[in-house]
């Protein structure tokens, strides 16, 4: 090899022309898949899918739960914009996570991470960037001695020692940061793979219950296959820092095979019990209704819509506004109508809390005569006149609270936390120790060896490049 080899000719050892169209396609695919920008752009697309899934209810593991959520959301959207609701329903955006496109996106992210890790493990010798900062120099030594000197200089600059291979009569090598710092990107790649594994575990073995409305004192089974029953024993209103604000805590009694304990939940903190995660996802006012005869005995109340057995006490969650409910009391010849209102205290400002109000009407069942009409904002005992004064009936109305509980089995939880930790650690390490790459070419000649060192053009003025040039007794270079 002639001693007067130019930098462009030395650089060509890393940018040899492809030998076939297949070779060209494989090189382009490798460069695309090993580029950090490709992974970041793909993760950005994934973020758009996640945001769409947050805004639009998605199909879950329990089709009946997902169907109820979707129907309610779609009905509210159709009330505002029927055209938009039809477009959303026809586009399949409500089933994003089950779509082929989403699964292909996850497979592409996994492939990018695997290829990225392979590139790190195998010391990827792919072509250098389109723009590099290079300098060429000659040394009057054998190739092995030149590589030893170059290796010491690279090591002093924080790079790996070279492992050269022969290309067209020259020896080439690609180097990255040495030691643990050189694996910062690998941590991020591995973390993303672990997160994908966690999502697979969640889809295969995860489980979520239906949303369960708990009223004071009424037990509810979390799900037939869990064997656990939850009962709402107490509601605590914790005053907040703002005026008239408060936080609602619920105390639940969990019972089941080998389980009997009390747990406390609020809307920011869940709890775990018997392998399940329990979350309080909603709370609000509820109604307790009793009807007593003149002797003080509680009469059975029938809810025509609930299709439940008559009971002496009725509890109902009060959701929304102007919610009308009707109850029959055959023993007292009464129909009790309850309408729920949510209105603000004092001035009509958005900062004031909502106040629950009930309009209670008692109507004689036999002839439809209105016997009572009251608007209540607190507990009350209302007297309903009978045919004679001694037969007066009492309607007892009390305001309580309800909570909505959701139970989830999350076998992926620890795996996801580990993956997220790896990603954060990788990103932090990448900020502290940015990626360093260098390419070296040594071409033997009649009177020694001609050497070329290349680094990315963005690192031309980096301190580590200055140390590398100083160790080799060089100064300056050119951008190719």
Mean pLDDT of 413-439: 89
How many of the other CB atoms lie within 10 Å of CB of 169?
Answer: 9
For residue 189, is it left (φ>0), alpha (ψ between -120 and 50) or beta?
Answer: alpha
Q: What is the per-residue pLDDT for 422? A: 93
**Residue 345 confidence (pLDDT) above 50:** no
Q: What is the per-residue pLDDT for 192? A: 92
Q: What is the per-residue pLDDT for 396? A: 94
Cα-trace Rg, the chain: 36
How many angstroms separate the CA atoms of 409 and 388, rounded? Answer: 59
For residue 448, is it left (φ>0), alpha (ψ between -120 and 50) or beta?
Answer: left
How many angstroms separate the CA atoms of 10 and 441, rounded? Answer: 7
Q: What percent of the chain has pLDDT over 70?
A: 85
* Segment 157-171, tens digit of pLDDT: 988 888 888 877 788
How many angstroms separate the CA atoms of 21 and 38, rounded? Answer: 23
* Segment 28-67, tens digit of pLDDT: 888 888 887 888 899 899 999 888 887 877 765 444 445 5
The structure's pTM equals: 0.68
Among candidate residues 137, 7, 9, 151, the one with its CA nearest the CA of residue 475? 137
Residue with tokens 């250098």: 128
Banded pLDDT at 268 (limits 50, 70, 90):
confident
Q: What is the per-residue pLDDT for 10? A: 58
Q: What is the per-residue pLDDT for 186? A: 86
Q: What is the per-residue pLDDT for 322? A: 58
How many angstroms separate the CA atoms of 173 and 147, rounded? Answer: 10
Q: What is the per-residue pLDDT for 343? A: 59
Mean pLDDT of 78-97: 81
* Segment 385-410, tens digit of pLDDT: 877 555 788 999 999 889 988 888 88
Per the model's pLDDT, the better-predicted residue between 308 and 163 turns out to be 163
Mean pLDDT of 288-301: 91
Banded pLDDT at 144 (limits 50, 70, 90):
confident
Query: Which range among 93-97, 241-245, 457-461 has the greatest average pLDDT?
Result: 457-461
Q: What is the per-residue pLDDT for 208? A: 79
Per the model's pLDDT, the better-predicted residue between 262 and 71 turns out to be 262
Q: What is the per-residue pLDDT for 354? A: 58
For residue 110, is it left (φ>0), alpha (ψ between -120 and 50) or beta?
Answer: alpha
Q: What percent of the chain has pLDDT over 90?
A: 16
Banded pLDDT at 193 (limits 50, 70, 90):
very high
Adjacent-strand bridge partners of 479: 133
* Segment 210-263, tens digit of pLDDT: 788 899 888 888 866 667 888 998 888 777 655 555 677 888 888 877 778 888
Mean pLDDT of 135-142: 85
Residue with tokens 């739960």: 65
Banded pLDDT at 350 (limits 50, 70, 90):
very low
Q: What is the per-residue pLDDT for 298? A: 92
**Residue 195 confidence (pLDDT) above 90:** yes
Structure tokens at 76: 């509210």
Are residues 241 and 433 in contact, defined by beta-carbon separation less than 8 angstroms?
A: no
Among candidate residues 168, 133, 134, 139, the one with its CA nearest the CA of residue 152? 139
**Residue 275 confidence (pLDDT) above 80:** no
Question: Which parts of 240-345 are beta strand (E)?
Answer: 246-256, 259-265, 271-273, 276-292, 314-317, 323-329, 334-344
Q: How does the average pLDDT of the chain come out, rounded?
A: 81
Orientation angle between helical segments 100-121 and 184-205, nearest 10 degrees: 150
**Residue 421 confidence (pLDDT) above 90:** yes
**Residue 450 confidence (pLDDT) above 80:** yes
């Amino acid at each position: 090899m002639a001693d007067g080899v130019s930098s462009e000719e030395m650089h060509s050892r890393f940018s040899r022309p492809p030998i076939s169209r297949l070779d060209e396609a494989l090189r382009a695919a490798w460069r695309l898949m090993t580029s950090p920008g490709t992974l970041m752009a793909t993760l950005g697309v994934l973020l758009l899918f996640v945001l769409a899934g947050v805004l639009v209810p998605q199909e879950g593991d329990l089709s009946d739960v997902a169907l109820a959520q979707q129907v309610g959301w779609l009905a509210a959207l159709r009330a505002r914009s029927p055209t938009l609701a039809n477009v959303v329903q026809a586009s399949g955006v409500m089933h994003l996570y089950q779509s082929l496109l989403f699964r292909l996106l996850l497979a592409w992210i996994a492939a990018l991470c695997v290829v990225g890790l392979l590139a790190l493990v195998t010391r990827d010798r792919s072509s250098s960037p389109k723009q590099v900062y290079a300098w060429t120099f000659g040394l009057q030594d054998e190739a092995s001695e030149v590589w030893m000197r170059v290796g010491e200089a690279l090591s002093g600059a924080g790079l790996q020692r070279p492992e050269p291979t022969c290309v067209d009569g020259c020896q080439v090598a690609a180097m990255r940061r040495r030691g643990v710092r050189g694996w910062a990107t690998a941590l991020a790649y591995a973390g993303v793979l672990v997160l994908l594994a966690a999502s697979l575990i969640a889809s295969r073995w995860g489980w979520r219950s239906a949303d369960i409305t708990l009223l004071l004192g009424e037990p509810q089974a979390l799900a037939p296959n869990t064997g656990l029953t939850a009962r709402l024993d107490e509601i605590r209103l914790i005053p907040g820092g703002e005026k008239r604000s408060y936080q609602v805590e619920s105390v639940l009694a969990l019972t089941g095979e080998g389980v009997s304990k009390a747990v406390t939940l609020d809307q920011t903190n869940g709890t775990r019990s018997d392998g399940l995660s329990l979350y309080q996802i909603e709370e609000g006012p509820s109604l307790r209704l009793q009807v007593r005869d003149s002797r003080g005995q509680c009469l059975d109340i029938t809810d025509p819509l609930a299709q439940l057995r008559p009971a002496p006490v009725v509890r109902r969650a009060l959701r929304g506004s102007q919610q009308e409910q009707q109850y029959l009391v055959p023993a007292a010849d009464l129909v009790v109508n309850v309408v729920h209102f949510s209105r603000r205290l004092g001035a009509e400002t958005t900062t004031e809390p909502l106040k629950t109000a009930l309009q209670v009407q008692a109507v004689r069942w036999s002839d439809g005569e209105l016997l009572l009409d009251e608007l209540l904002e607190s507990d009350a005992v209302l007297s309903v006149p009978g045919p004679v004064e001694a037969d007066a009936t009492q309607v007892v109305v009390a305001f309580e609270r309800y909570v909505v509980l959701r139970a989830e089995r999350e076998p992926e939880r620890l795996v996801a936390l580990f993956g997220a930790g790896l990603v954060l650690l990788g990103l932090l390490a990448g900020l502290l120790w940015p990626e360093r790459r260098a390419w070296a070419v040594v071409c033997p000649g009649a009177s020694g060896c001609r050497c070329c060192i290349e680094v990315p053009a963005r690192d031309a003025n980096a301190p580590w490049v200055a140390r590398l040039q100083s160790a080799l007794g060089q100064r300056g270079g050119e951008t190719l």
